[in-house]
Amino acid sequence: MSQQTRFDLGQSDIPECWYNILPDFPEPLPPPLHPGTKQPIPPEALTAIFPENLVQQEVSSERWIEIPDPVRDIYALWRPTPLIRAVRLEKALDTPAHIYYKYEGVSPPGSHKPNTAVAQAYYNKVAGTKRLATETGAGQWGSSLAFACKFFGMECNVYMVRVSYQQKPYRRMLMHTWGGTVHPSPSDQTEFGRKLLAENPNNPGSLGIAISEAIEDTIKTPNTKYSLGSVLNHVCMHQTVIGLEAIKQMEMAGEEPDSIYGCVGGGSNFAGLSFPFVRKKITENKKYKIVAVEPTACPKMTKGELRYDFGDTAGLTPLLMMYTLGHNFMPPSIHAGGLRYHGMAPTMSHLKKLGLLEAVAYHQTSVFESSVLFAQTEGIVPAPESGHAIHAVVEEAKRAREEGKKRVILFNLSGHGLLDLSAYESYFSGKLQDV
Ligand SMILES: *Cc1c(COP(=O)(O)O)cnc(C)c1O
């Protein structure tokens, strides 16, 4: 073999703890507020929808939180995930940059999302929850939670954005295969859903609407809790196994990244890769450039405002301090369904405010162009979401070529696109439009 391009860890290298960034923030994170009183919400109030153990994690000031053995045992089905150097992409771009990617598409549901789904299912099980309610856009989160619930013998009730339910049947089938129940949202299962359907029987749905339905379901059904696939502190924390592994793997490769990229929907996969590196920025004065990549069609970090806003459309959630386009924002229908959320995780928003993270936005046609280049050089068909990170990396690698400077770039390949091939087909047939 001429050159090592794949950096693998063994099962015993699965991290023993998640990294909680809260205690390392140079300024404290603004707390969630009660929508009525506008006062900080006492953590106990959150136990109406979340189990107490996860509420504790949400507000914890402990830096390292031990990963329970049953969770690590399930992680071992696909973790540690590989770190790969994209030498063929480098060559195609004729760039002096070294490009590394952490590949989260090797999990059974095909993305990073089970890293938190399994943890959340476990903590709910321990707390006595019998049934979880959640929402899903294109189905990545719903399928990951259905997968996770099955390990712990819990029911999983998913509200799936109606257009995706109709247009993207395969993840719906995956949810069924893993034993989940799926309703097109808005649905006839909740008061909010029935009200919207009465106004417009063809309401295409949105993530914000589906969240409202899942929360209403949780409040009204005994032994049920709510589960969210991104945005919240504990969700971002569960994803830090990605970055903790990547730090070890970059050491194996004998290199240190100078820029780190990831796509952002609610922010969790990129929080997962970047937070352990942000810790080195804060505590070791490292100079990594950390870049969140979003679609121009849903530009909360590049065009949104940093303010308190609801996480859902109906206004049932606490107010979170985040970059937002407004909780009523209806993102245009783009193929990267997982990036169509109006807000950004408070932890990620806080990092941007503190100047520890920057953001860029790209149109979907250029994203698909780079995704196809990636598929044709590295072999993996990326999820349309992950394609945003790839495109930003391609742009950076081209700049490195123009400047004749070596750079070491690391990005998160958050998932594969094998269930998103219709999006590629639209791109090839020229039907894809920039909005
Ligand atoms: C859901 C999803 C995303 C976006 O969600 P984040 O919380 O921002 O990570 C990105 N990539 C893939 C493959 C997804 O499934």
Q: Is residue 71 part of a domain?
A: no
**Average pLDDT over every residue of 140-167:** 96
Task: Tell whether 200 and 60 lie within a shared domain.
Answer: yes
**Average pLDDT over every residue of 121-131:** 98
pLDDT of residue 207: 85
CA distances from 240 to 246, 409, 424 (A): 10, 19, 30
> Closest residue (by CA) to atom 1 of ligand 1?
338
> Domain range for residue 61?
17-65+114-233
Q: Is residue 433 part of a domain?
A: no
Task: Tell whether 303 and 176 lie within a shared domain.
Answer: no
Could you read off the pLDDT of 372-408 as tens digits, one per residue?
999 999 999 999 999 999 999 999 999 999 999 999 9
Q: Which atom of ligand 1 is nearest to the CA of 383?
A: 13
Of residues 7 and 207, more confidence is placed in 7
347 within ligand 1 shell (Cβ under 6 A): no
CB atoms within 10 A of CB 191: 12
CB contact at 8 A, 182 and 282: no
384 within ligand 1 shell (Cβ under 6 A): no
Q: For the whole model, what pTM was predicted?
A: 0.97
Structural domains counted in the chain: 2
412 within ligand 1 shell (Cβ under 6 A): no
What are the tokens at 20?
């909680």
Could you read off the pLDDT of 399-410 as tens digits, one per residue?
999 999 999 999
CB contact at 8 A, 386 and 399: no
> Closest residue (by CA) to atom 7 of ligand 1?
268
Task: Tell whether 351 and 203 lie within a shared domain.
Answer: no
> Closest residue (by CA) to atom 10 of ligand 1?
385
Name the domain boundary from 208, 233, 258.
233
Could you read off the pLDDT of 30-44 as tens digits, one per residue?
999 998 899 999 999
Task: Tell whether 213 and 289 lie within a shared domain.
Answer: no
Q: Which atom of ligand 1 is nearest to the CA of 415?
A: 13
Task: Tell whether 221 and 120 lie within a shared domain.
Answer: yes
Res. 430 pLDDT band, cuts 50 70 90:
very high
* Interatomic CA distance for residues 101 and 280, integer angstroms: 19
Task: Tell whether 134 and 229 lie within a shared domain.
Answer: yes
* Interatomic CA distance for residues 32 and 345, integer angstroms: 12
Name the domain boundary from 233, 249, 267.
233
> Closest residue (by CA) to atom 9 of ligand 1?
269
* Interatomic CA distance for residues 207 and 192, integer angstroms: 14
pLDDT of residue 314: 81
386 within ligand 1 shell (Cβ under 6 A): yes
Task: Tell whether 243 and 226 lie within a shared domain.
Answer: no
Task: Tell whether 57 and 144 lie within a shared domain.
Answer: yes
Q: Is residue 124 part of a domain?
A: yes
**Residue 22 is part of a domain; what is its CATH number?**
3.40.50.1100
Name the domain boundary from 205, 233, 261.
233
Res. 1 pLDDT band, cuts 50 70 90:
low
> Closest residue (by CA) to atom 13 of ligand 1?
415
pLDDT of residue 334: 76
Task: Tell whether 56 and 98 lie within a shared domain.
Answer: no
